Chain A
Amino acid sequence: MTDKDQVDSVLEDFFAAARGAAPKPSADLSARILEDAEIVRAERVHPGDLWRSKRRNVWSEFLWLIGGAPAILALSTAAIAGIWIGISPPDYMAEQVQSYLQGSGYNATDSFWAVDTLGGFTLSTAGG
């Protein structure tokens, strides 16, 4: 009997026993594998769902960047207050604006189209 034959004769019964008593996975493993399969299949069959979830992620990211829900609340309050003041300004505000404009030498009856937006910038300097 060769060395190889001897080794095989010692081990064969062990291998046979191992083949007959193969370890078995739990039922939970099958459930986990099938859950993964369903997620992969759903992403492939309905890519829109994935896109929508990505869009939700972008929105969440934006919310986080500006400071979350409190920041949104503060911005909304400021915007509503600005619109409200624009539509229906309090009486004292008109007086304040009028006095400011008079103090600066500006006539409130002037039209804004006459305002020089390039003050101090003459044609000679523009011409080089």
Chain B
Amino acid sequence: MPLDSLTNASDDALLVLFANGDPKAALVLTHRLSPRVFAYGFRLLGDRNEAEDVAQEAMLRLWKVAPNWRPGEAKITTWLFRVVSNLSIDRKRRHHSRAVSLDAVADPPDGADSVEQTLQDKARSEALQTALLRLPDRQRQAVILRNIEGLANPEIASIMGISVEAVESLTARGKRALCKQLTDKRDALGFEDDR
């Protein structure tokens, strides 16, 4: 199947094509899913190399599960987020958390934003990442999925294997803890200039 026609195909359809031996389906799925998988792993772990290892492992599991995948039963992204969550929590239990370096947060894509705005966004993103890494694992996971990845609470509940009420509780507590950490940094990060 031509590559152009694959770019519009659903994740499920691409995984079925891959299971049937189409290598181009893997190419499209990799470009579509690996940035999100990596970004989520990075926000959980705060380490670029570890996040890349987790993303690679999660995608490998996806390739292996492809022949048994039942389209329509679960979203591939939901499944991947669950795998990344489990792998990341396992790694965090094995290693001490590490401080995030400025270089680890990638520059946003070139656009109309001024250099000053770009740097400010990067500094804010880094401050948030540092604060996120101080949260308990489950709170961090829930806040990232809800407020950065933009997932709905039922989907987060499915990823984390808990009830929707528990997700709401975790995000509320996580956000209060983040607020406490970040309120003092608002002036230094140029929030007053935005008003």
Q: Which of A37-45, A67-75, A92-100 contacts B (4 or more CB under 8 A)?
A: A37-45
Given the complex of chains A and B, what is the CA–CA distance between A13 and B183 in angstroms?
A: 12
Chain B neighbourhood of A4, CB < 8 A: 172
Q: Does A11 contact B (CB under 8 A)?
A: yes
Partner of B30, one of A19, A21, A33: A33
Q: Is the CB of B23 within 8 A of A23?
A: no
Q: Does A107 contact B (CB under 8 A)?
A: no
Q: Is the CB of A13 within 8 A of B34?
A: no
Interface residues on B, range: 35 or more
Binary contact readout A32-70 vs B (1 if CB under 8 angstroms, 0 otherwise): 111011101100110000000000000000000000000
Main secondary structure, interface of B, reads helix
Chain A neighbourhood of B122, CB < 8 A: 17, 21
Q: Is the CB of A11 within 8 A of B182?
A: yes
Q: 8 Å CB contacts to A: which residues of B104-147?
A: 104-108, 120-122, 124-125, 127-129, 147
Q: Closest Cβ of chain A: how far from B71's Cβ, in Å? A: 18
Given the complex of chains A and B, what is the CA–CA distance between A25 and B122 in angstroms?
A: 16
Q: Is the CB of A23 within 8 A of B30?
A: no
Q: Which of B58-66, B85-93, B156-164 contacts A (4 or more CB under 8 A)?
A: B58-66
Q: Closest Cβ of chain A: how far from B155's Cβ, in Å? A: 17
Q: Closest Cβ of chain A: how far from B163's Cβ, in Å? A: 20
Q: Does A26 contact B (CB under 8 A)?
A: yes
A37 closest partner in B (C-beta):
B26
Knowing A23-B48, A25-B35, say if A10 contacts B179 (CB, 8 Å): yes
